[in-house]
Amino acid sequence: GARSSGAGDTVVVGSKDFTENILLGEIAAQLLESKTDLKVVRKLNLGGTTVNFNGLKTGDLTLYAEYDGTGYSAHLGHTEPITDPDALFDQVKKEFEEKFGLTWSEPLGLNNTYTLAVPRALAEQYNLKTYSDLLAVDEQLVFGTTNEFMGRTVDGYEPLVRTYGFQFKDVATMQTGLRYKAIENGDIQIMDAYATDGKLKEFDMVILEDDKNFFPPYKGAYVIRMDAVEAHPEILETLNLLGGKLPDETMQELNYRVEVLEEPVDQVARDFLKSAGLID
């Protein structure tokens, strides 16, 4: 209908339920408001990956920020290892267009990969550098995972443990935002961090090297309904202005301002867009 998120004059922006993804939703919303005449509706902090993807497919959403590795594994269901990480984005985009009627904007610059992080003191005590180094201490460590990581069947906890042969002492599932507190309290000793987490700096964590290349790259970009882009090409043109503007360090700094300094999301998004010269 005239008011659907596909062909109408309204853009509905979704997001997942963690800081970076909410920020990316807000950045898209503000930029579209400033550069187009479209009405923008925010449905940020909507839920996990599945909720957003389903919302996009049914037309409840017009776009949200996604990651190519997540597209490859969670949405396209590929289980075979990625042979060419550089070509991953193009492959995922092509398959999304063909299978789902969804397209991708230019990559934003960040690669928010899953990574294993441990407190620096622990890494130094056991000289931990790679995931395989964990095999010497895994039976002493409690692994804290996000609900989403626990549920993922391709790039999640179970396949990770199988690939490396880990035998952690225990596993505790928790909300994304609570993992660092659990590390601090000593409830867990290792977690599935996100490479661009703002709290990685504050909590003095060490990121270990994925020596078996278990995780694919997770380049961030917006996934958008193609019917909306056909009706309003300015949606894609506008979001493509963000291509390459958010490398890891920039994104992590914005996440840090929201998560650690507790600045409001809309302010941090606006500051970024101004400093990138995209809004006045």
Question: Residue numbers of the site for ligand PBE (CB under 6 A)?
Answer: 16, 49, 67, 69-70, 112, 114, 194, 218
Please state, as a whole number, how many other Cβ atoms lie within 10 Å of the Cβ of residue 215: 19
Distant-in-sequence, close-in-space partners of 203: CB < 8 Å, separation ≥ 6: 119, 180, 183, 184
Residue in the structure block whose two tokens are 């990770």 = 160
- φ, ψ dihedrals at 131, nearest 5°: -60, -40
Q: Please, what is the minimum distance in Å from the beta carbon of residue 249 to ligand PBE?
A: 16
Min separation Cβ 251 and ligand PBE, Å: 11
Rank residues 67 and 104 by Cβ distance to ligand PBE and give the closer one: 67
Cβ proximity to ligand PBE, 69 vs 144, nearer residue: 69
C-beta of 166 vs 194, nearer to ligand PBE = 194
Task: Work out how close the CB of 116 gets to ligand PBE at its nearest, in angstroms, rounded to a whole number.
Answer: 12
**Smallest distance from ligand PBE to CB 78, Å:** 14
- Retrieve residue 122's tokens: 């622990």
- State the alpha helices, DSSP H only, in 165-247: 179-185, 199-202, 226-231, 233-240
| Cβ atoms 48, 134 nearer than 8 A | no
Q: Where are the beta strands (DSSP E) in 140-254?
A: 142-146, 170-174, 190-194, 205-207, 220-225
Min dist CB 270 to ligand PBE, Å, is: 23
Structure tokens at 28: 């898209």
Nearer to ligand PBE, 154 or 278 (CB): 154
